[in-house]
Structure 1
Amino acid sequence: MTIYTPYITRNGQRIYASQYGLKVFAIEVTEEQNKKYWERRAKKDKNKDTDTDTKK
Structure 2
Amino acid sequence: MISDRILAVLTLALVAAFLGVLLVFVRRLDLGLVLVAVVMMIAYDFYRQLGRPRA
What TM-score results when the alignment is normalised by the length of structure 1?
0.40
Which of 1 and 2 has greater Rg? 1
Higher strand share: 1
